[in-house]
Amino acid sequence: MNSGIQIGNKIRDLRCRKGLTQEELADRCELSKGFISQLERDLTSPSIATLVDILQCLGTDLKDFFYDSEDTQIAFKESDYFVKKDEELQNKVEWIIPNAQKNMMEPIRLTLSPGGSTYPDTPHEGEEFGYVLQGSVSLILGKKCIPVKKGESFYYTAKETHYLKADTKSGAVLIWVSSPPSF
């Protein structure tokens, strides 16, 4: 199975959605019907310039053509998560939306052992939000220490050094979201 992008099918689908025959598409793009036929069967590869012309005739562009919404995963299971444990700080970070670096925000599930903490994060662009699922934490934001318990949330702009420290008895589990991604 060829793992490359099969552009032929996508071009045929776009052409059919536009209600064009191969001949009509070929005429619009000043190409031969034979070339369009071969292209749709992935027997030939167009140059970038030719592909741009074809896509223009089909009412789209390279960016939309190669952005495959069908392949974009929307829901994630535990088996999709990326997990990192830090024995020294006694925390476990789970990226519950894998590859979120390319997104507008990056949510993680953070588990802190009793007395565990996160590494102090230096000031950066953006905002952070958290919701404590169990236990309680102290949010250290610059010189402030803000207690946040189960069922409570926090939200701040990341203009000062910040980190979380778990209660020494209960530990904590929380959802923490950074926008833009910074974890």
Same domain flag for 37 and 63: yes
Domain's final residue, options 25, 47, 71: 71
Q: Are residues 82 and 38 in the same domain?
A: no
Q: Is the pLDDT of residue 29 over 70?
A: yes
CATH number, domain at 50?
Answer: 1.10.260.40
| Predicted local distance difference test score (pLDDT) of residue 114 | 97
d(CA 70, CA 9): 14
Residue 1 lies in a domain: no
pLDDT digits over 113-157, tens only?
999 999 999 999 999 999 999 999 999 999 999 999 999 999 999
pLDDT for 102 beyond 60: yes
pLDDT value of residue 5:
61
pLDDT value at residue 66: 80
Predicted TM-score of the model (pTM)? 0.62
Q: How many structural domains does the chain have? A: 2
Beta bridge partners of 95: 82, 108
Mean pLDDT estimate for the chain: 91
